[in-house]
Amino acid sequence: MTDPGLTVLQVLPALETGGVERGTVDMAEALVAAGHRALVVSTGGSMVRQLTRVGAEHVELPVRSKNPLAIWRNIERLARLIETENVDLVHARSRAPAWSAMYAARRTNRRFVTTVHGAYGVGNRFKRAYNSVMVRGDRVIAISEFIRDYVIERYPESKPARVVVIPRGVDLDLFHPGDVPAARLIQLSELWSLPDGAPVILLPGRLTRLKGQPVLIEALSLIANRDAVAVFVGGDLGRDAYKAELRQMAERFGVADRVWFVGACRDMPAAYSIASVVVSASTQPEGFGRIAVEAQAMGRPVIVTDHGGSRETVAPGETGWRVPPGDARAMATALDEALAMNQPERDALAARAVAHVKANYTKELMCRRTLDLYRDLLAQRD
């Protein structure tokens, strides 16, 4: 970009691990690389170090709180920061801080952008009103066509012309097939105590019923390949009762010796590389479906549930399979097809999957489109 240097302020509750946080850091890095200044306000977290390493600046404020009084107080704090640091544009990524950010941006006559990352539960009219801040931006970024349709249908005040689809992006320097050394694969396989030569069905995602772990356990009992193991990657977040329920279910279906709960993983490129097939079995629509895109970037066949953002990111018969939500038999059929592929078929699918991600879902594309949106919005100022 050749624009004069901009100062962009992103606001989110905290900088812990997650897709929203990762996108914030990616955007901050892109701003700095383009000669701009990136400010981020949050309550802090483990990713602050990553943020400062890319040349961005972090300001710690208590923006995580949903308390109305705290939100009100944060308006003044953010307005003061906007004026002091000569911020040109404010970008909010979550509801509670978005209320403070919106009023601070209005008070200081700055442009205001939001990103809607998921289909928020509407509940009652008060919940709907609380959610509505995310559609009040001068521009509203939807991370998929599914989210755009949801915003326009549920929130008519969103003004469709202001809603722009910018899909999330994958870092292809990190998720690159063939770039994971054998030593990392061996180390992870030994850490997880995987049986030698067994096909690995990988389901990444925190242990919560919404991620559909029961569907995969039942499907595992139905597939032809009796050596395949299901590996559940993700923290249980203290849901001991749910994990115990899954173990009992595996016992009931006769697959307890083929189910692995390995906890959180810090080396997802290696985890994908180990997998014979990657599954996203979410029973509720995902806003985007990051797992499926990362797996495709690594050249792995994917099976996803046929709703939400996954309908856009996975091409049936080309890069993977889509199955009805909660349908274990359909999941098993897709697993049988994926596990039965020969090497030339796997190689061809991998090439298509990687090309699909490169064309549509890279970090560079996401950041460039967002920077263009900032520039176009600021150019419209009177």
| Mean pLDDT of the residues in the chain | 94
- Within this chain, domains 7-169+362-379 and 182-360 share the same CATH topology: yes
**Predicted confidence (pLDDT) per residue in 306-333, tens digit:** 999 999 999 999 999 999 999 999 999 9
Can you tell me the mean pLDDT for 210-227? 96
Tokens read off for 179 = 């770039």
0.85 surpassed by pTM: yes
Q: Which own/partner contact pairs does 262-266 have at CB distance under 8 Å and 24+ positions apart?
A: 262/191, 262/192, 262/231, 262/232, 262/233, 263/233, 263/234, 263/235, 263/236, 264/233, 264/234, 264/235, 265/188, 265/204, 265/233, 265/234
Tell me the per-residue pLDDT of 297-306, one tens digit each, with 9 for 90 and over. 999 999 999 9
- Confidence label for 235 from pLDDT (cuts 50, 70 and 90): confident
With bands split at pLDDT 50, 70 and 90, how would you rate the model's confidence at 140? Answer: very high
**pLDDT tens digit string along 82-134?**
999 999 999 999 999 999 999 999 999 999 999 999 887 766 788 888 889 99
126 vs 171, more confident: 171
pLDDT digits (tens, 9 = 90+) for 256-272: 999 999 999 989 999 99
* Structure-model confidence comparison of residues 4 and 141, the more confident one: 141
Instruction: List the domain boundaries for the chain.
Output: 7-169+362-379, 182-360
CATH superfamily, with its number, for domain 7-169+362-379 = Glycogen Phosphorylase B; (3.40.50.2000)
Give the CATH fold of the 182-360 domain. Rossmann fold (3.40.50)
pLDDT at position 122 is 67
Residue 46 CB: number of other CB atoms within 10 A? 11
Using only C-alpha atoms, the chain has a radius of gyration, in whole angstroms, of 22
Is 50 exceeded by the pLDDT of residue 37? yes
When comparing pLDDT for 124 and 235, which is higher? 235
Helix (H) or strand (E) holding 208: none
